[in-house]
Amino acid sequence: MTSHSLSTPIPVPERSQRDEVDRLIAIDWQGATEARSSERGRWLVAVDGSEGSLRAVVMAARLIEANPQAGIDLVHVQGWLVKEAAEVELPRRGWHATAAARACLDEAGVPWHVHVRMGEAAEEIVALAGALGSRGIAIGSRGLTATESLFLGSVAYKVVHLGKVPVLIVR
């Protein structure tokens, strides 16, 4: 993450959601070129700021070349934060983690929508894909060995098993 991306102000979200203790748990931003349509069937791309997630963004952009105005939904899932930290950290971490993905899509002329959620990554990704009616989920892989995946767990592995839509794992 560059110092420029850290100094860029975070825009006001289009939507936000709170839980039963009034903790901020979800935020959505719409890109400047995003059409206000509620078009379903877009690809949902999980983004964590890693090179693997950026490769997944590029691949999803290629998948919609025939209809680039369909756009892409980006999702960043943050682990649980206490109520006070969530107010500042959830938007900041989500906005900055998606900076490179947003820049890539802007350069390609692909409309985007950012969704930041708090919770368990795989479950939140799959739930959002269902709520949005996503065509599929694209997710980067860190290339864990079978043993590493067994002990560390793998978000991509869990998404494949929980997902109700096609899942594209990009290495």
Domain count, the chain: 1
| 38 vs 101, residue with greater confidence | 101
Q: What is the pLDDT of residue 3?
A: 47
Q: What is the pLDDT of residue 116?
A: 98
| 4 vs 166, residue with greater confidence | 166
CATH number at residue 48: 3.40.50.620
Flag the least confident range among 3-17, 53-67, 142-156: 142-156
Separation in Å, CA 157 to CA 9, 19, 83, 137, 150: 34, 28, 30, 12, 10
The per-residue b/e assignment along 111-149, b for 16 or more CB within 10 angstroms, e otherwise, is: bbbbbbbbbebbebbbebbeebebbbbbbbbbeeeeeeb
Of all residues in the chain, what percent carry a pLDDT higher than 90? 73
CB 163 within 8 Å of CB 128: no
pLDDT digits over 97-153, tens only? 999 999 999 999 899 999 999 999 999 999 999 999 999 999 998 755 555 555 545
The answer on pLDDT for 7 being more than 90 is no
pTM (2 d.p.): 0.88
Flag the least confident range among 10-14, 24-28, 34-38: 34-38
70 pLDDT band (50/70/90 cuts)? confident
Domain around 60: 3-170
The answer on pLDDT for 55 being more than 70 is yes
